[in-house]
Amino acid sequence: MTDALLSLPPLREVIARHGLAAKKSLGQNFLLDGNLLDRIARVPGPLAGASVYEVGPGPGGLTRALLRAGANVVAVERDDRALPALAELGALAPGRLQVVGGDALDYDPRGTLPGPLHIVANLPYNIGTALLVRWLTIEPWPPWWASLTLMFQKEVAQRIVAAAGSDAYGRLSVLAQFRSRPRIAFDLPAKAFTPPPKVASAVVHIVPMDPVLDVPMARIEAVTAAAFGQRRKMLRASLKTLNGGIEALQRTGIDPERRAETLTVAEFAALAAEL
């Protein structure tokens, strides 16, 4: 780490100098506390020499922490206003920060850095869930990413880690837990952000693992979409929309009068295997 990375100007100064007032249309809420940013960068484990993909760096607060941790970072940023500030940061860490201007929904970071990438991001709220589902459902598996360390609204984070039978349990829970292990690393209050959002946030850490059953992810997506698409209905009604759904229920011996939120991830996998 260079001394320059330890003596950077405060983020508030960078934001003011570059006119980076947070845009609601981009889902921006900036985290300025260096201690919290360093804490996020520690969640994946040691990053010295590791490759990291960051989405939506904004003024570069988390990027600073990742560089201080010794990571090599590729960051994609849609807000052109932030690019000069990120360029300044990159000049202080030669060869360790590659900034791409564009939309993360259209960008594939594979091939930009060597080895498996750790994805670490304070995700813009308006695209966070879409990106997560994309990363969870990619093929082949194991994925090209080594771990995900992502900030979400706390409600979304609770849905990711929820157990069957809980109010937060739903399709996102099953997709996240079918072939990965998610946990909430820590919570952050709304007041930690500028501007403060209306809800609390949480950092989620996810590592890939072998799937519960060797079932194509497309089948898991299909059965959870049908079951949770009408979650107040019994499975015998909600799975009628799925080709072979009722027959799959019969073969697995799952009570057709149960509702989707009562099924474990293993039971959803068993249903998918029978489709």
CATH code, domain carrying 258: 1.10.8.100
Annotated binding site for S-adenosyl-L-methionine: 29, 31, 56, 77, 103, 122
- Asked if residue 196 and residue 250 are part of one domain, the reply reads no
Cα–Cα distance list, 239 to 69, 175, 225, 230, 251 (Å): 48, 18, 9, 9, 14
Annotated binding site: 29, 31, 56, 77, 103, 122
Three-class SS state of 108: coil
Residue at a domain's end among 188, 208, 228: 208
pLDDT at position 86 = 96
- Asked if residue 267 and residue 166 are part of one domain, the reply reads no
Radius of gyration of the chain from its Cα atoms, rounded to whole angstroms: 20
- Asked if residue 269 and residue 158 are part of one domain, the reply reads no
Residue at a domain's end among 177, 208, 239: 208
- Asked if residue 231 and residue 201 are part of one domain, the reply reads no
- Asked if residue 230 and residue 126 are part of one domain, the reply reads no
Give the Cα-Cα-Cα angle 31, 37, 39 (nearest 5 degrees): 140
CA dihedral 128, 129, 131, 136 (to 10 degrees): 140
Instruction: Give me the CATH number covering residue 142.
Output: 3.40.50.150
- Asked if residue 131 and residue 110 are part of one domain, the reply reads yes
Taking each helix axis as running N to C, give the angle between helix 61-68 and helix 83-91, from 0 to 180 degrees, rounded to the nearest 10.
20
- Asked if residue 147 and residue 89 are part of one domain, the reply reads yes
pLDDT at position 111 = 86
Domain count, the chain: 2
pLDDT at position 30 = 86
- Asked if residue 59 and residue 145 are part of one domain, the reply reads yes
Q: Which two tokens stand for residue 196?
A: 């403060």
- Asked if residue 263 and residue 203 are part of one domain, the reply reads no
pLDDT at position 63 = 97
Mention every residue, 6+ apart, whose C-beta is less than 8 A from residue 98. Answer: 73, 74, 75, 90, 112, 113
pLDDT at position 20 = 83
- Asked if residue 262 and residue 192 are part of one domain, the reply reads no
Under 8 Å between Cβ of 227 and 235:
yes
- Asked if residue 267 and residue 233 are part of one domain, the reply reads yes
pLDDT at position 98 = 96
**Residue of 49, 127, 41, 59 lying closest to 99 (CA atoms):** 59
pLDDT at position 1 = 56
- Asked if residue 166 and residue 56 are part of one domain, the reply reads yes
Strand partners, 206: 148, 182
Residue at a domain's end among 162, 191, 208: 208
Residues of the chain with pLDDT under 70: 1-3
pLDDT at position 115 = 83
Under 8 Å between Cβ of 31 and 186:
no
- Domain with 156, as residue range(s), is 3-208
Q: Structure pTM?
A: 0.94
Task: Encode burial over 147-156: b for 16+ CB neighbours within 10 A, e otherwise.
Answer: bbbbbbbbeb
Mention every residue, 6+ apart, whose C-beta is less than 8 A from residue 15. Answer: 21, 30, 59, 194
pLDDT at position 23 = 78
